[in-house]
Structure 1
Amino acid sequence: MVMGAAGSKLEKALGDQFPEGERYFGLENFGNTCYCNSVLQALYFCLPFREQLLEYYANYKTGGEAEDNLLTCLADLFTQISSQKKKTGVIAPKRFVQRVKKQNEIFRSYMHQDAHEFLNFLLNELVDILEKESNAAKTSPDTSSSSENIANGPSHPQANGVQKEPVSTWVHKCFQGILTNETRCLRCETVTARDETFFDLSLDIEQNSSITSCLKNFSSTETLNAEDKFFCDKCCSLQEAQKRMKIKKPPNILVIHLKRFKYIEHLSRHKKLSYRVVFPLELKLSNTIDNADCEYSLFAVVVHVGSGPNHGHYVSLVKSHNHWLFFDDENVEMIDESIIQTFFGSTQEYSSNTDHGYILFYERLGGRS
């Protein structure tokens, strides 16, 4: 399937500003699969993830025939895109979409699906497959270092009590961060800290706010009192306490999900919040424990188009080699960086513009940890 005039227009626009090997392909929609296409484009332009996936596939291909799964279908799709002769065009991710539907009945219907739910499902599924492969490689008698490296990459120490399994896959290395939940007893001042891992941060949003203020609210101190008192092990009783959530280890790729769909009790349904939330191109994390100067750069935005959660459309904005592109299923075009701010949201509750940033992808600057 060829894009024709649109394809040649994009090809002209790309000119010599992009490396020879880079590809910009639209993805065919199989009846409401825009939620999948928009996330796939964001992941394809997440370079550390794409590099690892292509490397995995190259190793997998040399390892003989094995059973198809979501990981091999995704790796096959990314390999197809990256090895196209032309710079632009359209690819049908049919095999991948079929696999998603086979794997998870939620995505089988033609109803509008949630892109964030899909991203979560996909990353967790990839991790499961890689962990199983790594464990199988460790227990097989002819374990070679190369087979372990396919799943594992270099060995990576785990934080105490964070994960039961010692396996750290390359998906973890790209997306996993560590949150610490601190509770301080107001009677004896003992601080109890509990770590938990995350692949993305879901942030509550308010009208006319910014990602920075949403993150501040996320890690603000909350007092536990009355019926919410905390059982302090040192005092051996329920006590008033202060609780806060902090980012202990920031991830290399920070994925932020804006909670735009809110359940309204008196309406008995979810409503989309069109609030204006400014997301900067460069983001500083000031609420981490050890590294207050952790900086990130925005490289992809999954946008929800529409006034409600049960219908609408998803598109994505992607940064590649310092230029921004707009992906809407089969259509791809270059856009000016200034257009990004039109996706912040609306200052009015009801607005004709329903294109709002929903999932943000930031890459950590200054090398990967």
Structure 2
Amino acid sequence: MEILMTVRKIASICTMGANASALEKEIGPEQFPVNEHYFGLVNFGNTCYCNSVLQALYFCRPFREKVLAYKVSDERRFQNIRRVVFVYIQGRDAQQIGSHPHFKPSQTFLFPVSIRMRVKKLPMILALHLKRFKYMDQLHRYTKLSYRVVFPLELRLFNTSGDATNPDRMYDLVAVVVHCGSGPNRGHYITIVKSHGFWLLFDDDIVEKIDAQAIEEFYGLTSDISKNSESGYILFYQSRD
């Protein structure tokens, strides 16, 4: 058993090395970044989501640098590592049931309410989690929302508070975790990342170079929300300053 496990590990390392070598040849030695290597992660069984998120976080350079600079002997320093901030920004119209203190308890009224969220401090790494799964009462289960969401390569948030410290901060898209499939309980996860000016697709242990135009394939569908699709799920943006 130990010999078999050792052989599998060696085979995995050789596979990753072969993929990396092929990618370096495709990019070209003159354009390949110095001291940078691109390796996939082996899927040990339903670990594609973990693999995809880890790849996305690794290519968020501020996050990577903070983790690499961490020293185990200094526990306080670990607490100060810049966390990836997940911001869920949503504006919606709603109706709320309420009652006036001068009215009887049996008298309730509906009145329109506008609910919104504003950002006071914009983070270095901005992660936006798209709502791709929704519980459907008529089906008694969750279903995937494959509708088309065009996420920009450059982003500026306009729903900041009046006292925001850096309201003009600009962001660049650096990674996207993509869900492939027709439902939340089936499918596969991959990730696309931007590194040194070009885009890479990580599918577990497979790494490929893609064109920037290929990102449009992960926007979602324009019609049926229940069809199989490759849809952007988590977007990672990095600040320019």
Shared fold, TM over 0.5: yes
CA distance in 2, matches of 1:228, 1:359: 36
CA contact 1:346–1:353 (8 Å) conserved in 2: no
Q: Which residue of 2 aligns with 1:18?
A: 32
Q: Which residue of 1 aligns with 2:21?
A: 8
Q: Which residue of 2 aligns with 1:247?
A: 119
Question: CA shift at 1:295, angstroms?
Answer: 1.4
CA 170–313 in structure 1, closer or farther in 2 if over 3 Å, else same: same
The residue correspondences of 1:1-369 to structure 2 (distance < 5 A) are 1-3=13-15, 6-15=19-28, 16-56=30-70, 59-60=71-72, 63=73, 133-134=75-76, 150-151=77-78, 169-172=80-83, 175=84, 199-202=85-88, 218-219=90-91, 222=93, 225=96, 227-228=97-98, 243-289=115-161, 290=164, 291-349=166-224, 354-365=229-240, 367=241
CA contact 1:219–1:246 (8 Å) conserved in 2: no
Which structure's relative contact order is higher, taking Cα pairs within 8 Å and 6+ residues apart? Answer: 2
CA distance in 2, matches of 1:21, 1:357: 29
The structure with more helix, counted as a fraction of residues: 1
CA 320–309 in structure 1, closer or farther in 2 if over 3 Å, else same: same
RMSD: 2.6
CA contact 2:144–2:225 (8 Å) conserved in 1: no
Identity, % of aligned pairs? 53
Secondary structure of 1:327's match? strand
Runs of 5+ consecutive residues of structure 1 not aligned to the other structure: 64-129, 135-149, 153-168, 176-198, 203-214, 232-238
Q: Which residue of 1 aligns with 2:104?
A: none
Runs of 4+ residues over 6 Å off in structure 1: none
Question: CA shift at 1:7, angstroms?
Answer: 3.6
Secondary structure of 1:31's match? coil
CA 331–265 in structure 1, closer or farther in 2 if over 3 Å, else same: same
Question: CA shift at 1:287, angstroms?
Answer: 1.0
Question: CA shift at 1:249, angstroms?
Answer: 1.1
TM-score by length of 2: 0.80
TM-score by length of 1: 0.54
Question: CA shift at 1:6, angstroms?
Answer: 3.8
